[in-house]
Structure 1
Amino acid sequence: MKVREEPLRLLAGAAAGALVTAVDTEQWPDLRARVAAVVAPGLSDLVSARLDEARRRLVAVPRVRLDLARSEFATEWRGSIHAMLGEHPEAAGPLRAVLAEVSPDLPRTAGDFGVPDVTSAVP
């Protein structure tokens, strides 16, 4: 059975949303490192560096553009995380666990998104 895209896309959106929410908080270093380690095994240092660069650009944005910049950050990282999950769908469960620890209000399973959880299916 092929892994369905929608649960992974929604999970990527939740992760990007958590990252953009944490970007200017004390949670940033831990969340950034944990997300990178889960979605990009073997490349977590590179992904962490890219996230830090995106964060630097975001926090330098003038306040009048901040909402737009946050939206762009979330869109960019939703796509990147979705692509990484496509390569490593087995990372979906650990990513949900990271998000649940950081923000208990975020959806933790595809079922929480209103989609059956099929991410554990064999591709």
Structure 2
Amino acid sequence: MEAEMIELARTAGSAVVTLMATDAWERTRDGVVSLWRRVNPARADGIEGELDSARDDLLVARVNGDSLTEQELTEEWAGRLRRLLREQPSVAVELREILAELDPDLQNRGPQTVRMSADVSGSGRVYQAGRDQHITER
């Protein structure tokens, strides 16, 4: 059971950080804060502020091409969620529901790392994507 909770925390941490930079951010933040309100109400407001600060850090990092910050934030939030799940294992059901609501695919996969490289010479082209890619050439 412990391994399952750790994997859920990793998946959720990755999802939370990924969703920080999307239109689903407010729903994501509200869902995560609601978990803390249920388990540890005194910390909920602080968690909300920390999530907002993390989002600001992520957005600045993405502008600056700093992928290490995103990785660190993912690990940080996975750890926080793991400790929350350890404190109150019944929250796992609610956390899975939040993930399923925000992105049904997130509940069925763990964090993924994609590393790509390409060598191009002359007038060659390379198109790489870690997920969806749409190319329109004219």
Structure 1 CA distance for aligned equivalents of residues 87 and 102 of structure 2: 24
Q: Deviations over 1:73-93 (max 9, x none)?
A: 100100011001111111000
Counterpart CA distance in 2 for 1:46 and 1:20 is: 17
Matches within 5 A, 1:32-111: 32-41=29-38, 42=41, 43-61=43-61, 62-65=63-66, 67-107=67-107
Cα separation, 1, equivalents of 2:8 and 2:52 = 21
- Quick one: distance in 1 between partners of 2:85 and 2:104? 21
Shift in CA distance, 29/19, structure 1 to aligned 2, threshold 3 Å: same
Paired residues of 2:9 and 2:78 also in contact (CA < 8 A): yes
Pick closer, same or farther for the CA change 1:39–1:96 going to 2, 3 Å.
Answer: farther
Kept in 1: contact 2:58–2:69 (CA 8 A): yes
Q: Secondary structure at the match of 2:65?
A: helix
Alpha-carbon contact 1:85-1:91 (below 8 Å) kept: yes
Larger radius of gyration: 2
Moved over 6 A (4+): none
What's the secondary structure of 1:64's corresponding residue? coil
Query: Larger helix proportion, structure 1 or 2?
Result: 1
Is the CA contact (8 Å cut-off) linking 1:39 and 1:85 kept in structure 2?
Answer: no
For residues 99 and 86 of structure 1, the distance between their equivalents in structure 2, rounded to whole angstroms, comes to 18
Structure 2 CA distance, aligned partners of 1:37 and 1:27? 16
| Unpaired stretches in structure 1, ≥5 consecutive residues | 114-123
**Secondary structure of 2:106's aligned partner:** coil
CA distance in 2, matches of 1:18, 1:40: 20
When normalised by structure 1's length, the TM-score is 0.77
For residue 34 of structure 2, what is the amino acid of its counterpart?
A
Identify the structure with bigger relative contact order (alpha carbons < 8 Å, sequence gap 6+): 1
- TM-score with structure 2 length normalisation? 0.69
Give the alignment's Cα RMSD to 1 decimal: 1.8
Give the % identical residues: 32
Could you tell me how far apart the structure 2 residues matched to 1:26 and 1:44 are?
22
